[in-house]
Amino acid sequence: MKYNKTFVISDIHGEYEKFEELMKHWDPETMNLAILGDMIDRGENSLKVVQKVMQLKKEYQDQVVVLKGNHEDMLLLFLEVQDYETGDWYFNNGGNRTCASFVEDEYIFFKSYEERARQMMQRKDEIKFIRELPMYYEFGDVLFVHAGINPLLNDWKETPRNDFLWSRGCWNFKNQTGKIVVFGHTITQFLHPDKRNDIWISECGTYVDIDGGAVFGGQLNAINK
């Protein structure tokens, strides 16, 4: 990364307008950019979000870091397996909105999951970009990750991939990484006693949750770290 400060966003979930509005506060002349996964699903403009992030990555290269979230993981699993059970699970968790934005066929939801996957995979550049996303990024004394780490391991890098993408509750344990762990995935209102959607910081100051639940009527948060 190029600068000392990083502008961090997570869990955009297809909320393109909120993303564009928040990005007005990013100064590419003085800040890096980190996006902590879950660009897609639930919101209506997943394709526009992914394409915008791809454009930012292409333009600013190492100044921009993009991580994989559990919803990107769900998409890739659906495209690989293409069976009814996986399709039903994915589409009922917001994948229907991603499909609608990736595919131009107005009758796509009358077709099989195999056909939906086939048409979604026509977005080859976007799928390749998503497939190659890393699960964490270290920057100085900060660790960026989508969901969390396994805090019980001596070496956090041995955290299973599902924990990086899907876990909740690492903040209930002592942070032994020597780093500030910045993550999304868990909506901050579930951690604030007063249920607000603002950024949440643990009492020890080493866990920071930024998922403001934008796609559920909350807010899209960002933090400079």
Q: Determine how β-strand 142-145 pairs with β-strand 136-139.
A: antiparallel
**What pLDDT score does 1 carry?**
79
**156: confidence class by pLDDT, cuts 50, 70, 90:** very high
Residue 3: its pLDDT value, please?
Answer: 84
pLDDT for residue 2: 79
Q: How far is CA 136 from CA 119, 181, 222, in A?
A: 30, 10, 17
Class at the top of the CATH hierarchy for domain 5-70+131-224? alpha beta
Token digits of residue 168: 């909740």
pLDDT at residue number 98: 98
Rounded distance, CA 107 to CA 23, Å? Answer: 34
The pTM for the full model equals: 0.95
The whole-angstrom separation of Cα 222 and Cα 225 is 10
Which amino acid is located at 86 in the chain?
T
pLDDT in tens, 98-114: 999 999 999 999 999 99
Strand partners, 136: 145
Do the Cβ atoms of 163 and 85 come closer than 8 Å? Answer: no
In the chain, the amino acid numbered 198 is: D
In tens, the pLDDT along 158-197 reads: 999 999 999 999 999 999 999 999 999 999 999 999 999 9
Round to whole Å and give the CA distance between 111 and 115.
Answer: 6
Share of residues in the chain with pLDDT > 70 (%)? 100
